[in-house]
Structure 1
């Protein structure tokens, strides 16, 4: 049974890694489209830019859908993903980039927002930070519960053999509860990431969106490249 479970886990990881590699290739293609649109923004119709923006956002949504699928299989894989380098993971907040990072990228890539846009962005930032803190507190509560009763009591009880074997039913029940709670936190974190991006895009003009999404995509791919280079350097030592 354990061997079968490991084979299933390996298959799920390989399937996601294959999806992710294809997703990254498409990500690079979208970056070229965004850069091209940026060069001719003044000549482009808003409808064309909006179509590109919608396709880029849909591309990110595909990633979240696949991520949710593998998290439902084993949420621990998403919190310690083997398809990301340690350097990439150093930027993570609840198994992904922190929503607040979007505002830092925005500040560096869009410098022509109107007063109304700036005020709406500030309101969005305050709301986002409140939700970030709530999720951080919830994750901390779950992590603390791992070393707190009743889990410790269950673990101690499981150290007592029952008819020559260990009774693990209680422990499995507790771990299933923890797994479910982690899945909920992850889903809410991904929802916050998506919702923050969608609302931010609604505030910006099409041209501003192209500049913002170009900067986001460039940063993500650069972090990926730097992480790969660091891993390669470590292997050569």
Structure 2
């Protein structure tokens, strides 16, 4: 894929992501409204609460669907996630958040989990940790293939390659791309299934608080990261001046 195509993808996904974050803030405001109304057990409020929970989960699903389409176009760009701030990228694990991080957040967010819920959480943590380990091993294998002698030798000679060698390099890169795409799809699948299983365990009240805190966490990281990058850019311009 050309640099131009990668640049186009970055711009398109950046626009999508900016709009997605705006809707995320809107959903957070709605969740906050319902959280403040939880003491009122009016039927219409409960119905609206359940509706907004489903909308929030669909909102996350929309993100993964758009991300999957982008990855088919250029998985390398999706892995690097240039639409995120440098601080946000420190949280990246195979192109997204680490599933076990969500499970750790639950313990900090919710202090009213029942013994049965806690038992389920512990089981989920063990299963998720094992799945993460397996994915990391697969990722390491893909990364090692990038540094394999034949591919590395061809890459170093990219400016002097003959026709047959170019085909070999293209074929090798295509195999790496396919492998990376598979790893990303598996990681996103684990992220989605972890959240889905977690939400199924929680009561409606707990779901609202959980989704609120996760959104607040994400948006605060976003704001702080963008602000820090902006300050760094301003400082660099000042030094150059």
Same fold (TM over 0.5): yes
8 A Cα contact 2:154 2:161, kept in partner: no
How much does 1:70 deviate? 0.8
Corresponding residue for 1:70?
A: 70
Listed as ranges, the gaps of 5+ residues in structure 2 are 236-241
Cα deviation per residue 1:56-95 (whole Å; 9 max; x = unaligned)? 0100010001111111101111111221011000011011
Q: Show the 5 A alignment for 1:218-237.
A: 218-237=216-235
Name the CA distance, whole Å, in 2 between partners of 1:156 and 1:37. 58
Q: Which moved more, 1:36-45 or 1:211-220?
A: 36-45
In the alignment, structure 1 residue 18 sits paired with structure 2 residue 5: no
TM-aligned CA deviation for residue 20 of structure 1: 1.0
- Give CA deviations for 1:149-193 in whole Å, capped at 9, x if unaligned: 44346557878754xx67310011010000000000001100100
Residue number in structure 2 paired with 1:39: 36
Structure 2 residue 183 is matched with structure 1 residue 179: no
Scaled by the length of structure 2, the TM-score of the pair is: 0.90
Counterpart CA distance in 1 for 2:156 and 2:212 is 53
**Any conservation in 2 of the 1:160–1:166 contact (CA below 8 Å)?**
no
Unaligned 5+ segments in structure 1 are none
Which structure shows the bigger proportion of residues in helix conformation? 2
Residue 233 of structure 1, CA deviation: 1.0
CA distance in 2, matches of 1:151, 1:236: 40
- Rounded to whole Å, the distance in 2 between the matches of 1:149 and 1:126 is 37
The 2-side partners of 1:195 and 1:178 are apart by 26
**1:1-237 paired onto structure 2 within 5 Å:** 5-44=2-41, 45=43, 46-152=46-152, 154-155=154-155, 162=162, 167-237=165-235
Structure 1 position 13, deviation (Å) = 2.2
Deviates more, 1:27-36 or 1:165-174: 165-174
Q: Aligned-residue CA RMSD in angstroms? A: 2.0
TM-score normalised by L of structure 1: 0.91
Residue 96 of structure 2 aligns to a residue in which SS?
coil
Q: 1:155 touches 1:171 (CA, 8 Å); kept in 2?
A: yes
